[in-house]
């Protein structure tokens, strides 16, 4: 009986630590292809507004909110779950049935064991709905070309890229590199000091961002044009 109590106490002490370790460990090196077959940007297929695509929407979001170092990457595998590739993510969904899919159930939890765990921000309703639609549409490993280099305003082009691909690791609840990209001001700061362009082009002297999958060339052009145009809140 005493042993059981000790074990219980130990668990109580350890469990908050598990969550904390998730927020502060450096990124692990991932396979640059990330298990993706076709990178969005040169698939030759345009995006249908009614569809949700794995490589465009789901994978980057999972990379920045679930599969980071110390959590569900291929090294830590928290709770035995590795969410770094399509094949591994697919193990936790039932194609066509979001409501019965483990991944969806974890994301919609609102209790203290929710995913991503506090202090990380929960997924937004829009992001949750994307996951739901993607699973209900068959949870396919699909991709399409949405990017247009002639569009490079903050609202139409830049903010959506940052929200899907960066913000999960760069917000007040998870301040990767002490950089907050949840606000325009935060993004502007790294646009001006050169770190934004240096990191997304994986240039020497900068940490490659995102490390798991380089942004499609078209999105890098949009970012460059936006910076060259004064990194405006437009
Ligand atoms: C999986 C989590 C993760 C994602 C996704 C991510 N970052 Fe980071 N980022 C970090 C961490 C952790 C650091 C600090 C350690 C390091 O530099 O590797 C960092 C550092 C940085 C730095 C500082 C680099 C330097 O050389 O000083 C910049 C700039 C940056 N990130 C921008 C971005 C942008 C822009 C995106 C999206 C296109 C992004 N990050 C996506 C976790 C992430």
Residue ranges per structural domain of the chain: 49-144, 154-228
- Residue in 207, 101, 115 with CA at minimum distance from that of residue 168: 115
Pocket test for ligand 1, best of 207, 219, 224, 231 (most atoms within 8 A of CB): 207
pTM of the model as a whole: 0.77
User: Residues 6 or more apart from 37 whose CB is under 8 A from it?
Assistant: 86, 141
Q: Is the CB of 209 under 6 A from ligand 1?
A: yes
Instruction: Pick the residue whose CA is nearest to atom 11 on ligand 1.
Output: 176
Spatial contact of 28 and 74, defined as CB atoms under 8 Å apart: yes
| Rounded Cα distance, 40 and 55, in Å | 6
Q: Measured from the CB, is residue 202 less than 6 Å from ligand 1?
A: no
Ligand 1 centre and the CA of 5: distance in Å?
42
- 122 within 8 A of 61, measured Cβ to Cβ: no
Is residue 210 in contact with ligand 1, taking CB distance under 6 Å?
Answer: yes
pLDDT tens string for the chain (234 positions)?
445 444 444 444 443 333 334 433 333 333 434 444 456 666 677 889 999 999 889 998 998 888 877 888 888 888 888 888 898 899 999 999 999 999 999 999 999 888 888 888 889 999 999 999 999 999 999 888 878 899 999 999 999 999 989 998 999 988 999 999 999 999 999 999 999 999 999 999 999 998 877 888 889 999 999 999 999 999
* Span from the CA of 194 to the centroid of ligand 1 (angstroms): 13
CA 222, 227, 232, 234: dihedral to nearest 10 degrees? -10
Do 196 and 14 meet the contact criterion of CB atoms below 8 Å apart? no
pLDDT of residue 81: 87
With a 6 Å cutoff on the Cβ, whether 68 touches ligand 1 is yes
Atom of ligand 1 nearest to the CA of 210: 41
Give the residue, by CA position, lying nearest to ligand 1 atom 38.
166
**Residue 198 φ then ψ, to 5°:** -60, -40
């Amino acid at each position: 009986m005493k042993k059981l109590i000790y074990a219980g106490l130990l668990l109580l002490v350890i469990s908050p630590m598990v969550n904390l370790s998730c927020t502060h460990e450096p990124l692990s090196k991932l396979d640059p292809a990330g298990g993706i077959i076709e990178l969005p940007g040169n698939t030759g297929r345009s995006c249908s507004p009614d569809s949700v695509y794995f490589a465009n929407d789901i994978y980057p979001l999972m990379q920045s909110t679930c599969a980071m170092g110390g959590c569900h990457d291929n090294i830590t595998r928290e709770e035995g779950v590795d969410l770094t590739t399509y094949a591994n993510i697919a193990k936790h969904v039932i194609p066509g049935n979001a409501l019965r899919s483990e991944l969806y159930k974890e994301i919609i939890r609102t209790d203290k064991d929710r995913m991503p765990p506090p202090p990380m921000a929960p997924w937004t309703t829009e992001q949750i709905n994307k996951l739901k639609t993607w699973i209900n549409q068959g949870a396919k490993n699909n991709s399409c070309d949405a990017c247009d280099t002639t569009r490079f305003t903050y609202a139409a082009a830049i903010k959506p890229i940052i929200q899907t691909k960066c913000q999960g690791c760069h917000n007040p609840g998870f301040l990767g590199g002490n950089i907050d990209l949840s606000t325009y001001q935060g993004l502007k700061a790294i646009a001006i000091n050169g770190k934004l362009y240096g990191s997304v082009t994986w240039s020497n002297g900068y940490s490659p961002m995102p490390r798991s999958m380089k942004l499609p060339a078209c999105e890098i052009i949009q970012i460059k044009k936006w910076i060259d145009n004064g990194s405006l809140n437009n």
